[in-house]
Amino acid sequence: MYRAVALLALEAGIPLPPRGPDKELLIQWARDLEMHFSGPPLAPQVFLGAREVSMALRGEEVSRAASLVSAIPEIRQELVQRQRALGAQGAVVEGRDIGTVVFPEAPVKFFLTARPEVRARRRLEELAKQGRAADLRVVTEEIRQRDLRDSSREVAPLRPAPDALVVDTSDLSLEAVVSHLERVTRQRLGPRLAGSRACHQP
């Protein structure tokens, strides 16, 4: 959701972080955001209105802009309400403040992490599949800078929830991570599993 607002800002040529009328415009866009999802759970398509934006939201420029947009308290207030509405429908939700701010009462929370250089290599693999090239050192530094901005912001800083299970995925395959999270979730929820929410943060 923050990426969607950031994408709109970039397309409109609004400087980030925005000020004055530009800031008010972004807040209004967050309030009026027409965003929905379609397709299989592991590969959902994201739409803004009738426009499919799944790939556009994953660009490096959007990643940088989303970090700046997410620091605006009024935008966070609007989008947190939307995220809670999704959670009420039974969604598994991920985000940098899901376990600490959006769903602090969720019965299962995971904080997924990995070494910056590992995350950068994974990002390069994603970009390669899209036919896009990037420099490993540049991507690694961008990840470090985003983590620093998000962990030091005043509003909803990036940090594990006190009751979140921190999982370092640096040396694990995707399949191993999913298997571990599912096993822990089943252990913690037991018979409540069918009606419960499981949250994680990347």
Q: Looking at the predicted structure, is the pLDDT value of residue 128 above 90?
A: no
Q: What is the pLDDT of residues 96-120, one digit of tens each?
A: 889 999 999 988 999 999 999 999 9
Average pLDDT over residues 126-133: 83
b/e sequence 129-138, b meaning 16+ C-beta within 10 Å = eeeeeeeeee
Q: Looking at the predicted structure, is the pLDDT value of residue 171 above 90?
A: yes
Domain map of the chain by residue range?
1-90
Q: Looking at the predicted structure, is the pLDDT value of residue 196 above 80?
A: no
More confident residue, 162 or 155: 162
Strands (E), the chain: 35-38, 45-48, 51-52, 93-94, 108-113, 165-168, 198-201
Cβ neighbours of residue 182 under 8 Å, at least 6 residues apart? none
Could you give the CA distance from residue 67 to residue 141 in angstroms, rounded to a whole number? 14
Q: Looking at the predicted structure, is the pLDDT value of residue 181 above 50?
A: yes
More confident residue, 119 or 132: 119
- Quick one: pLDDT at residue 198? 45
Cβ neighbours of residue 29 under 8 Å, at least 6 residues apart? 5, 8, 9
Per CATH, which fold does 1-90 belong to?
Answer: Rossmann fold (3.40.50)
Span between the terminal Cα atoms of the chain, in Å: 15
